[in-house]
Amino acid sequence: MSDIAISVENLGKKYHISGRQERYNRLTETVMDTLSAPIRRLRNLGKPAPPEEIIWALKDVSFEVKRGEVLGIIGRNGAGKTTLLKILSRITEPTEGRAEIHGRVGSLLEVGTGFHSELTGRENVYLNGAILGMKRTEIDRKFDEIVAFSEIERFLDTPVKRYSSGMRVRLAFAVAAHLEPEIMLVDEVLAVGDAQFQKKCLGKMGEVAREGRTVLFVSHNMWAINELCSRAILLRNGSIANEGSPQDMIEGYLASTVNLTEMEVADRADRAGTGRLRFTCVRLLVDGREVRCIESGRDVTIESYYEASEAMQPHSIRFGISILTLTGIKFVAFDSASTDFHAESIPRRGVVRCHIPRFPLVRGIYRGLLYAGINGEMADRVEDAFEFEVISSEYPRVGYVAVDHQWDLAPAISGKEYHAASQSGH
């Protein structure tokens, strides 16, 4: 038996968009439009029809997925991710190319896909299981686990049409995850539901991956992609832009959205705090020169310019900077309260500097968060206030922080020899 679970060759899907845009009319307008249609047709006789626009949602997409592999699909909205999964699920037909799937497929593309709204949750579990090709005995064996996972026991015999979207996705995910299809196609369903249920779903996805089932996972949750997937494909404008390790693909995707030139924050509306002090600009300096790219291991100064509504006493104010990965992981913070920061006064307009010797980050693109507190109250907090790139790291690309360290090696000695050496002071 081949070890290939999914094979996609030169897959393409195009859509025709009419050149004429229809608008919504009231009833009287619809009647008048119908009555005037013959006259309008005479006027348009001989005129060419408005051109149709063709959009390729997918174009020349080719890849293979091995059995037991967890493949992540990432890309911006409109990149073709959902279209790809709908073709693989046989919901829509491709315009060109072919896709072969070897194994029983469970699809979880939209909330409650495959559910009958008039049937109860209990009945839909059996219906969905039958659609997935499961025998009734198999569903009976897994039924209690499905219901317990979905956490909707009280509403099991209620028609699905009365379920909230969160209840639907709980039951839909529980069915797809527990009925053991050989291949799972999952599209962003983990974004629905509360945080606790999302965490449970991620745990189940990890369990499914460890069981050796094949998974295609589309998500904007980069942490989940990085944690669950062994490989990732980056889609851009309907085509494969790149493929490789999840971490490399995530960085390539997120780096395309990074602005390494704009460091002004004075007009940012998406900020929190009382406003008694507001950051206006950020500068990154190496050897007194403003930079956007930092060489790992160099001394760096981060300058944060601010404006305050009034002069304040130095002991009342606290400044902070957090550095995050592009996936949103906060792994280092610099806080003035943890140092011997002091100033004679805090002017209404000023610049506060954070000096970081031997900047320890390895190659990659990072984001910075600024915050300031006055007398224990948040005055200003600006997320993604600045972005920068670390280059030319002499350390291997593992993790994020490069810590200076040394190694040595010596011959092993027995416990008695070690005790004797320690007693003699050698």
Of 220, 239, 255, which residue sits at a domain end? Answer: 255
Residue pair 122/157 in contact (Cβ under 8 Å)? The answer is: yes
Q: What value does the mean pLDDT of the chain take?
A: 81
What is the H or E stretch that residue 418 is in?
Answer: helix 415-424
Mark whether 108 and 242 lie in a shared domain: yes
Domain that residue 320 falls in: 261-426
Helix (H, G, I), strand (E, B) or coil at 170: helix
Q: What does the angle CA 145 – CA 146 – CA 147 come to, to the nearest 5 degrees?
A: 95
Per-residue tokens: 415: 């416990």
Mark whether 225 and 324 lie in a shared domain: no
Mark whether 148 and 284 lie in a shared domain: no
Query: What are the tens digits of pLDDT across the range 286-331?
Result: 888 888 878 888 899 999 999 998 888 777 889 999 999 877 888 8
Mark whether 317 and 205 lie in a shared domain: no
Residue pair 378/371 in contact (Cβ under 8 Å)? The answer is: yes
Closest CA to 173 of 215, 210, 235: 215
- At a CB cut-off of 8 Å and minimum separation 6, what does 130 contact? 136, 139
Closest CA to 290 of 325, 247, 260: 260
Q: Where are the alpha helices (DSSP H) in 179-312?
A: 195-210, 222-228, 246-255
Amino acid identity for residue 352 in this structure: V
Amino acid identity for residue 392 in this structure: S
Mark whether 248 and 266 lie in a shared domain: no
Mark whether 209 and 97 lie in a shared domain: yes
Does a structural domain hold residue 46?
no
Residue pair 183/6 in contact (Cβ under 8 Å)? The answer is: yes
Does a structural domain hold residue 5?
no
pLDDT at residue 25 tops 60: no
More confident site: 324 or 397:
324
- At a CB cut-off of 8 Å and minimum separation 6, what does 1 contact? none
Count of helix runs (H) and strand runs (E) in the chain: 9, 18
pLDDT at residue 110 tops 70: no
Indicate the pTM of the whole model. Answer: 0.63
Mark whether 210 and 273 lie in a shared domain: no
* DSSP code per residue over 330-370: EEEEEEGGGTT---S-B-SEEEEEEEESS--B-SEEEEEEE
Residue pair 326/307 in contact (Cβ under 8 Å)? The answer is: no
Mark whether 71 and 200 lie in a shared domain: yes
* CATH (domain of 338): 2.70.50.60
Identify the weakest region by mean pLDDT among 6-20, 66-80, 396-410.
396-410
Cα distances (angstroms) measured from residue 9 to each of 1, 13, 225, 237: 20, 12, 24, 17
Query: What are the tens digits of pLDDT across the range 56-94?
Result: 999 999 999 999 899 999 988 889 998 998 899 888 899
Does a structural domain hold residue 37?
no
Mark whether 304 and 359 lie in a shared domain: yes
Does a structural domain hold residue 9?
no
Does a structural domain hold residue 6?
no
Amino acid 155: pLDDT: 93
Mark whether 331 and 213 lie in a shared domain: no
Mark whether 86 and 175 lie in a shared domain: yes
Mark whether 418 and 301 lie in a shared domain: yes
Amino acid 271: pLDDT: 94
For residue 290, the cross-strand partners are: 285
Residue pair 187/81 in contact (Cβ under 8 Å)? The answer is: yes
Other Cβ atoms less than 10 A from the Cβ of 52: the count is 11
Average pLDDT over residues 97-121: 80
Does a structural domain hold residue 14?
no
Closest CA to 377 of 277, 307, 274: 274
Amino acid 396: pLDDT: 52
Pairing of strands 364-374, 317-325: antiparallel
Closest CA to 278 of 255, 300, 309, 302: 309
* DSSP code per residue over 202-226: HHHHHHHHHTT-EEEEE-S-HHHHH
The span from the CA of 222 to the CA of 47, in Å, is 51
* CATH (domain of 115): 3.40.50.300
The span from the CA of 209 to the CA of 346, in Å, is 55
Q: Where are the alpha helices (DSSP H) in 74-188?
A: 81-88, 121-131, 136-150, 165-178
Amino acid 34: pLDDT: 63
Of 255, 272, 288, which residue sits at a domain end? Answer: 255
Amino acid 47: pLDDT: 66
- What total number of domains does the chain contain? 2
Identify the weakest region by mean pLDDT among 50-64, 102-116, 209-223, 341-355.
102-116
Does a structural domain hold residue 387?
yes
Of 255, 271, 295, which residue sits at a domain end? Answer: 255
pLDDT at residue 197 tops 60: yes
Closest CA to 125 of 71, 163, 91: 163
Query: What are the tens digits of pLDDT across the range 219-272?
Result: 887 777 887 888 999 999 999 999 998 878 887 787 676 665 557 899 999 999
Does a structural domain hold residue 43?
no
